[in-house]
A = this chain, B = another copy of it.
Amino acid sequence: MQLRALRYFVTLAREEHFARAADICGVAQPTLSSALNSLETQLGKRLVERDRRYIGLTEEGRAMLPWAQQLLAAHEAMVHAVEALGGPLRGEFRLGAIPAAMPSVGQFTQALLRQHPGMTLSVRSQTSREIMRAIEAFEIDAGVTYLDHESPSNVISVPLYAERYVFVTAEAGTQRESGAVSWQEVARHPLCLLHQGMQNRRILDGLLDAHGLSATPRATADSYIALLAMVQSGGLATVMPERYVDLIEGTDWAHVRPLAMDAAISRIGLVVGDRGPLDPVAAAALNCARRIAGESMRD
């Protein structure tokens, strides 16, 4: 049984399309077809349901998939473990991050890239749930997400910072109060917030609820950029993670005031999967995160 065939299988299960999967794997479509065929012959079971088109995995295929993923991940980690001894790491580092943490990944990734010049980086925006699933499925090497909410499986985590929120309004006339703003005041404004169901919105709702308030936003979106655009032009206000302030600092329209954070604040950190020995890539990420966390503490 060949690793190659397993890679085809896993890619096919993800792409649900023979030619596309073959293309991603860098082989011709018949190659993937025949590899899958011999895999199925060797196991004596059909793995992929198909009749002219891809239909889906069989029961056996579904049972096999997570093991195949683990196997391929172990293979990559093995290669990394061997290569890492002779110098800096190479290859692609796949990082998932929740939108709320996106502005802060720069610091982390910069440190990582500086320390490992041969490494390339691929950052994707995902929900906290997706990040956990992707770590489970070996689709990303690490994630930046909430530490205290969902952490179901075997992961190692390093706290990076505690999330604080700020209240952003467009500058309206000359009134320019500063100092912390209360949740009551927030609730009085016409707001635009993230869509319900996004983790960050759930946290925000929880914070409001703790003060006996509830949010009825005039607009919702799935990105902070969209929220900021609406604030800038629409007269709405929003609440967003402190880390986004850096992006709009110095603009002439944004008026940022910290929010009183009395309740428990959400910790955000780096998480990597923890199965078996530690992948050197993951180890490098953890190191960087620990260093950054140390620096942040000193701030």
A residues in contact (CB < 8 Å) with B = 1-3, 43-45, 47, 59-60, 63-64, 66-68, 70-71, 74-75, 77-79, 81-86, 154, 274-277
Contact = CB atoms under 8 A, between A and B. Distances in A.
A80 to B, nearest CB: 9
Contacts of A75: 1, 67, 71
- Classify the secondary structure of A's interface with B: helix
A192 B4 CA distance: 58
A3 B4 CA distance: 10
Quick one: copies of this chain in the complex?
A: 2
A56 B17 CA distance: 46
Given A3-B3, A74-B67, A45 B275 contact: no
B81 A74 contact: no
With a 10 A CB-CB cut-off, give which of A70, A79, A274 has the most chain B CB atoms: A70
A68 B59 contact: no
Contact of A63 (B1, B82, B276): B82
Given A63-B82, A82-B64, A85-B60, A70 B277 contact: yes
Nearest to A153: B276
A165 to B, nearest CB: 36
A44 B90 CA distance: 14
Given A2-B2, A74-B70, A275-B275, A63 B45 contact: no
A221 B83 CA distance: 47
Instruction: Sort A-B residue pairs by CB-CB distance and give the 6 closest, nearest first.
Output: A67-B78, A71-B74, A275-B275, A63-B81, A66-B277, A70-B276
Contacts of A276: 66-67, 70, 275
A26 to B, nearest CB: 16
B154 A45 contact: no
Nearest to A43: B82
19 contacts: A1-B75, A2-B3, A3-B3, A44-B86, A45-B86, A59-B85, A60-B85, A63-B81, A66-B276, A66-B277, A67-B74, A70-B70, A70-B276, A70-B277, A71-B74, A71-B75, A71-B78, A154-B275, A275-B275
With a 10 A CB-CB cut-off, give which of A43, A79, A277 has the most chain B CB atoms: A277
Contacts of A277: 66-67, 70
